[in-house]
Amino acid sequence: MPTSTATLPLRLLACACIAWAGIAWTANARAADNSARPAHGLIVQLKDAPPHDTARATLEDERLRRVLGAAGVAAAHSRPLGRAAHRLDFGRVLGSDEAAALAAQLRSHPEVEWVVANERERRLVTPSDTLFPATPTTTGQWWLFGVSGSNANALTDRLRGVPGFQSAWGTTTGSSAAIVAVLDTGITAHPDLDAHVLPGYDFVSTVEFANDGNGRDADPSDPGDWVTQADKNNNPTLFGSCDVANSSWHGTDIAGIVAAVTDNAFGVAGINWNGRVLPVRVAGKCGAEVADIVDGMYWAAGLPVSGVPINPNPARVVNISFGGDAACNAAYQTA
């Protein structure tokens, strides 16, 4: 059974990541209207629900069916999610208004603790500010430079970095015991990263968004997350609310920042020279479903997820680069 020391940091980190992500997401409010996003089912938790790994869980499944019937909500099927919640699948994509109406029906039942829509969170926005990306005159890794020193950048760049980061490397260059889970688009093979990558998992459950021909499996490889106008035209139900975009390869970028092989006269420097990355693929085309993010967080921490083998390399840190403009919802708070 999960202990409080394992679940509490995960809850705090989940809310912190999503809350922080929401700040950046508002910059892209014109590109996508979150209030009109479709939902891939609902996530519900009943009051006083027991954890899924207890003997009472079977009785809870029957209780959920009874509550759904009483509330007049006809889900095609459900599956366990997180500690004690369930993901409800309706066999189709729900419009935002329909999802809100169904959620309201469920919330009206006295045995329901909370309900949230299983929307897709989006990758964080890259702002257009000229000093944000690397340029011919500034390093692309400005966050690692100190305020002073022979290799320091201009003052405007130095003030954006992490004070004393290079000085910290004089004390320690990191530890292989530090495992960081990167919940993102997956990972690609890279000579400056491969030696620090642990076996991960692919949690993208919707095949059309997965872009690799299947759903969940033990291969966290990133096949690309591009979206074309043809995708939107041919399947507006799934892709109509998505932005046309090239593949981001975002998961590999983040993994490199965290733990690229360092001091090898090649590529970039990782924050932790000896760190290990646990790639957890939760995002494909159009971002990541809330339910997939929650399952990915649980698995990354070494906690049980229905239908998935236990992760033998639990992470102590989880990085999530996705978010929305709403408050940290109940699915994240109870993860």
What CATH number corresponds to the domain at position 54?
3.30.70
Kindly state whether residues 186 and 91 are assigned to the same domain.
no
Kindly state whether residues 87 and 211 are assigned to the same domain.
no
pLDDT at 153: 57
In the three-class reduction of DSSP (H, G, I as helix; E, B as strand; rest coil), residue 261 is classed as: coil
In the three-class reduction of DSSP (H, G, I as helix; E, B as strand; rest coil), residue 78 is classed as: strand
- Cα separation of 134 and 131, whole Å? 7
Number of domains in the chain: 2
pLDDT at 47: 95
Digit-coded pLDDT (tens) for 307-317: 999 999 999 99
Backbone angles phi, psi at 217, to 5 degrees: -165, 180
Write the DSSP symbol of residue 272: S
pLDDT at 308: 95
Q: Is the pTM of this model over 0.85?
A: no
Kindly state whether residues 169 and 188 are assigned to the same domain.
yes
209 assigned to some structural domain: yes
Kindly state whether residues 175 and 300 are assigned to the same domain.
yes
Digit-coded pLDDT (tens) for 125-154: 554 544 444 555 555 666 665 555 545 556
186 assigned to some structural domain: yes
- Concatenating the DSSP letter of every residue in 95-135 gives PHHHHHHHHHHHHTSTTEEEEEE--EEEEPP----TTSS-B
Kindly state whether residues 113 and 175 are assigned to the same domain.
no
Residues of the chain with pLDDT under 70: 1-36, 124-164, 323-326
Kindly state whether residues 111 and 170 are assigned to the same domain.
no
